[in-house]
Amino acid sequence: MRALAAQRREQDAEHGILLAAVCPGMMNTPTSGVWWDVSHAPSPAQAAVALLDLALEPVRSSHYGEVLPWAPWR
């Protein structure tokens, strides 16, 4: 993802496009709760907030080439 984003950075920045990949980690779902303690993990709805913010907010040039911290329960 980083290599592709680096190749496309200049052209995408001109068009307000941010190429991103997301790995939210463990989610608190009934299925995962059967196998692991997910009591402190975010629900899918909580995790979706950060994804929607990234998708719907204007693209910031500071995001290009950066690894953003995952904070779905902010």
Q: Is the residue at 52 inside a domain?
A: yes
Q: Is the residue at 13 inside a domain?
A: yes
How confident is residue 69, by pLDDT bands cut at 50, 70 and 90? low
User: How far apart, in whole angstroms, are the C-alpha atoms of residue 32 and residue 18?
Assistant: 31
> Please, are residues 24 and 47 in contact by the beta-carbon 8 Å criterion?
yes
Number of domains in the chain: 1
Q: Is the residue at 15 inside a domain?
A: yes
pTM for the model? 0.59
Q: Tell me: pLDDT of 37 over 90.
A: yes
Segments forming the whole domain that contains residue 37: 2-63
User: How far apart, in whole angstroms, are the C-alpha atoms of residue 44 and residue 13?
Assistant: 30
Q: Give the pLDDT mean for 49-62.
A: 81
Q: What pLDDT was estimated at residue 35?
A: 92
Q: Is the residue at 70 inside a domain?
A: no
Q: Is the residue at 44 inside a domain?
A: yes
Q: Tell me: pLDDT of 26 over 80.
A: yes
Q: What pLDDT was estimated at residue 28?
A: 92
Q: What pLDDT was estimated at residue 29?
A: 92
